[in-house]
Amino acid sequence: MRPAVVLVVSTGLLVALAIGSLCVGAVPISLHGIVSCFGALLGVSETGLGSTEHTILMQLRLPRVITACLVGASLGVAGAGFQGLFRNPLADPYVIGASSGAALGVTIAIVLGIQWSLFGLTGNAIAAVVGSVLVVAVVFGIGAVGQNNSALSLLLAGVAISSMVNAIVSLLMFWNDDKVVVILAWVMGSLADNSWNAVRTTAILFVLGLLVLGSLSRQLDAFSLGDVASRSLGLSLGRFRFAVVAGCSVTTAAAVSAAGIIGFVGLIAPHIARSLVGTRHSWLIPTSGSIGALILLSADDVARTITRPSELPVGIVTALLGCPFFLYLLKSRSVSGNATV
Amino acid sequence: MKLQCRKRRFSDARRRFSEARMYGASIHHEVAGVSTEGSRLGQSVDRTRVRGTHSVRRSHGIFWLSRKTEVLTHVYQQAARHKRHRFSSVVAIVLLTVVGCTSSATQNPDPANAVANEHQATVVSDRLGRTVSFEIPPRRIISLSPSTTELLFAIDAGDLIVGATEHCDFPAAANGLPRVGGGTLTSISREMIVSLEPDLVIAKWDSHEPLVKTMELLEIPILMMGADSIDDIFADARTLGGLTNHAKDAESLVDQMQSRLETLTACVRGIPDSERRTVFYEVWDDPLMTAGPNSFIGELLEIGGMKNIFADAKQRYPKISSEVAVARRPDVILAPSTHATRVSIDSLRQRQGWQDIPAIRDDAVFLIDGDQVSRCGPRVINALEEMIRTVYPNHYNASESR
């Protein structure tokens, strides 16, 4: 299939799924009601929804669906970036400490009871972004010192620092046992408490990261040939790595600030995308984004409907449903991709 | 008199559920920002009554401020003081009497107005130190913890509850309530809450904290409550009683609990120190957790005249090492009956090194009704009684026969 067709089809599917997602939930809303509600927004028609349904649609469900798309897309894009950077099919958005950094930031914010907000972002979201960027910076600072195989030393530094940061988080949770539930809820990942402000911030961070990584796609292609080959093609490796890490971190921060830590999407979305559009990053990155969004949106739909009226943490659903699907792909099409090794 | 609130973030207020929140919102501002409010409060505002009549009424009038300001400032300072006091629960309630305003009454001859005037705006300071404003009495309450549900039923306000969690199973009437999710933060469906159109949500102060932001955006008043001691239960009962016009029921509940508490205290008072038994309370088996003296279970042990072997713990529910539990040689082991796998004398004997603990040697391992002992609600006194009956049967029976 031509990459352009894949991208258009997956984006079309995403839009259709998003509209379908608006209908399902604790209170079903008819498609007709949704159309009339959007018509009313544009001044075309009268809204056919009651005030409760209107509030649910406009204040809860629509921001949630959009956040799910943005978070999934962010994770897919960041995953594609990191897998390209490390030339390793196991890399995911959290591989160099972004998730543990975010968890540390949020844990500190919750323990200190920070309540302030900035640009509509809650203290927790800001702490998540600051934490993940700081930890990634430390990892990068340590990992970039090694001269020879910088991607590998970056990976190792990431693993080591992540473990340390996770230990600090556990220690803080141990000392503050009355806050454990809140911290855990955040670490498990949830899209429930997102407002329009969160949508805006996530969108800004996502677009920023997408632009950075998109502009690096040709360099990522060259880099996949190996350090020596890419350097001989004129790639300045140090600056390139910094730019990729910065782009991926911003994108990861977008996801983390809105939804906490959601695993697996960032790992499998690039693999699925690679099996569909090949290994050229100019197609791979946007396709990973739309596939990531599809995965997370469908997982969230399951999470908020299957145990109605309760909800499940969405991270559980992504792993439970995503994993068998991924294994099936792995078996039938050898997804892992040839550009990664 | 009409309390006037200024028109803030009002663009889609038409959609909101009830005027109560907007109405109450002004009071919050009076309390929080007394100095600047005088000039703003002269404004009038459109109020939309959604539930009930759906009619839009307009009220005009001036909120005469200065004296109220003093009262409110005082209350706010009081609330702030209590905020510092970590374990004091919901305390400051201000009932602002809604005095009839002749001029607006003549402008609003519709009968619905009379109903509105029965309503009072109130400011409550909750467990997180927030001041929450809404109109009382609330008519549609959603309770997000079993102990709050039990407490509301115990003060005869159970008919106000329109939604609860899956764990709210007592009293039997609570089983019929619509569910909004499990007890945990992630499992609660925000959509379900909105669809039940509550005018008050009561959540757990520690585990539901992130809900505050969402509910505030939706302009649904949310009170963060949850008792951690028997005194907290009394305070919560009185607060809820005051809010729901069940103050008398709340007082009689408190009186009843207090008199039972006195009877039970009297029954263990005479036990000499040498006969007091050391107790290990096993909150959870894996990881091994107990109740420290700061938890309400620790409080129950203390009131019940038992020596908690982990009375030196700082945390409420610390994870502890099996070695220490063995080394401290408890005379009695207590556990709630609601464990996934029930604690039993046999299962404890299986544990490495536990065979020599006096409690196990003497068969002194007892289960306490988990729903009563694990919920800090009106039934904790039952749990206390059960604990005393099992640990000090002779003293208990002696006081019963007396």
Q: Does B308 have pLDDT greater than 80? A: yes
CB contact at 8 A, B62 and B37: no
A309 contacts on B by Cβ (under 8 Å): 178-181, 189, 192
Phi, psi of B397 (to 5 degrees): -65, -40
The verdict on a CB contact (< 8 Å) between A185 and B210 is yes
Report the candidate in B358, B295, B401 with the shortest Cα–Cα distance to residue A178: B295
Provide mean pLDDT across the span B305-324: 91
The verdict on a CB contact (< 8 Å) between A309 and B178 is yes
Q: Alpha-carbon distance B34 to B50, whole Å?
A: 30
Any A CB within 8 A of B353 CB? no
Nearest-CA distance B361 → chain A (Å): 33
Report DSSP letters for B144-182, one per residue: -SHHHHHHHHHTT-GGGEEEB-TT---SGGGGGSPB---
Residue A28 CB-density burial (10 A; 0-12 exposed, 13-18 middle, 19+ buried): exposed
Q: Alpha-carbon distance B328 to B330, whole Å?
A: 6
Phi, psi of A51 (to 5 degrees): -65, -35
The verdict on a CB contact (< 8 Å) between A195 and B209 is no
Any A CB within 8 A of B15 CB? yes
Q: Please, which residues 45-74 of chain B have a Cβ atom closer than 8 Å to chain A?
A: 50
Nearest-CA distance A27 → chain B (Å): 7
Q: Alpha-carbon distance B243 to B226, whole Å?
A: 16
Name the residue among B192, B206, B318 with its Cβ closest to that of A309: B192
Name the residue among A54, A195, A310 with its Cβ closest to that of B182: A310
Residue A99, pLDDT score: 80
Q: Please, which residues 195-234 of chain B have a Cβ atom closer than 8 Å to chain A?
A: 195, 197, 206-207, 209-211, 213-214, 217-218
Question: What pLDDT, in 10s, does the model give residues B155-209?
Answer: 999 999 999 999 999 899 999 999 998 888 888 999 999 999 999 999 998 888 8
A26 contacts on B by Cβ (under 8 Å): 189, 191-192, 195
Provide mean pLDDT across the span B14-38: 35
The verdict on a CB contact (< 8 Å) between B209 and A60 is no
Question: What pLDDT, in 10s, does the model give residues B350-397?
Answer: 888 898 899 999 999 999 998 889 899 999 999 999 999 999 998 888
B296 contacts on A by Cβ (under 8 Å): none
Q: Which of A45-59, A162-176, B92-106, B323-337 has the lowest mean pLDDT?
A: B92-106
| Cβ–Cβ pairs < 8 A, chains A and B | 101
DSSP-derived letter for residue B271 is -
Kindly report the number of other CB atoms within 10 A of residue A119's CB atom. Answer: 10
Q: Alpha-carbon distance B167 to A235, whole Å?
A: 60
Q: Does B281 have pLDDT greater than 90? A: yes
Report the candidate in A78, A55, A73, A298 with the shortest Cα–Cα distance to residue A196: A55
CB contact at 8 A, B146 and B166: no
Q: Pick the residue of A178, A186, A316 with the most B CBs within 10 A to test the interface with B by mutation.
A: A178
**Quick one: CA dihedral B298, B303, B309, B311, positive or negative?**
positive
Residue B121, pLDDT score: 77
B169: which 2 tokens? Answer: 């199973």
DSSP-derived letter for residue B306 is -
The verdict on a CB contact (< 8 Å) between A307 and B180 is no
Residues 6+ apart with CB under 8 A from B4: B26, B41, B42, B43, B44, B45, B59, B61, B62, B63
Report DSSP letters for A256-307, one per residue: HHHH----SHHHHHHHHHHHHH-S-HHHHHHHHHHHHHHHHHHHHHHHHHTT
Residue A44, pLDDT score: 78
B256: which 2 tokens? Answer: 């009843």
Nearest-CA distance A104 → chain B (Å): 17
Q: Does B74 have pLDDT greater than 60? A: no
Residue A112, pLDDT score: 86
CB contact at 8 A, A244 and A81: yes
A60 contacts on B by Cβ (under 8 Å): 190-191, 194, 218
Residue B15, pLDDT score: 39
**Quick one: CA dihedral A192, A196, A200, A201, positive or negative?**
negative
A195 contacts on B by Cβ (under 8 Å): 213-214, 217
Question: What pLDDT, in 10s, does the model give residues B207-236?
Answer: 888 888 889 989 999 999 999 999 999 999
B206 contacts on A by Cβ (under 8 Å): 178-179, 181-182
Q: Pick the residue of B190, B208, B295 with the most A CBs within 10 A to test the interface with A by mutation.
A: B190
pTM of the shown model = 0.74
Name the residue among A51, A308, A312 with its Cβ closest to that of B50: A51
Name the residue among B181, B197, B206 with its Cβ closest to that of A52: B197
3-state secondary structure of B131: strand
Q: Looking at the DSSP assignment, which residues form a beta bridge with residue B336?
A: B368
DSSP-derived letter for residue B319 is B
CB contact at 8 A, B237 and B369: no
pLDDT tens, position by position, for chain A (341 residues)? 688 999 999 999 999 999 999 998 888 888 888 888 888 888 877 777 888 888 889 889 999 999 999 999 999 999 999 999 888 888 888 778 888 888 898 889 888 877 666 666 667 777 888 888 889 888 888 877 655 566 778 888 888 998 999 899 989 988 887 778 778 877 778 888 788 888 888 898 899 999 999 999 999 999 999 888 988 988 888 889 889 988 998 888 888 888 888 888 998 999 999 989 999 999 999 999 999 999 999 999 998 888 877 888 888 888 888 888 888 877 876 555 444 43
CB contact at 8 A, B268 and B336: no
Own/partner pairs, B300-304, CB within 8 angstroms, 24+ separation: B300/B373, B300/B380, B300/B383, B300/B384, B300/B387, B301/B387, B303/B230, B303/B261, B303/B264, B303/B265, B303/B268, B303/B384, B304/B264, B304/B268, B304/B384, B304/B387, B304/B388, B304/B391, B304/B392
3-state secondary structure of B133: strand
Q: Alpha-carbon distance A38 to A40, whole Å?
A: 5
A310 contacts on B by Cβ (under 8 Å): 166, 179, 181-182, 187-189
> Could you tell me which residue, A174 or B281, shows the higher pLDDT?
B281
Q: Alpha-carbon distance B81 to B339, whole Å?
A: 39
- Beta strands B141-143 and B289-290, pairing class: unpaired
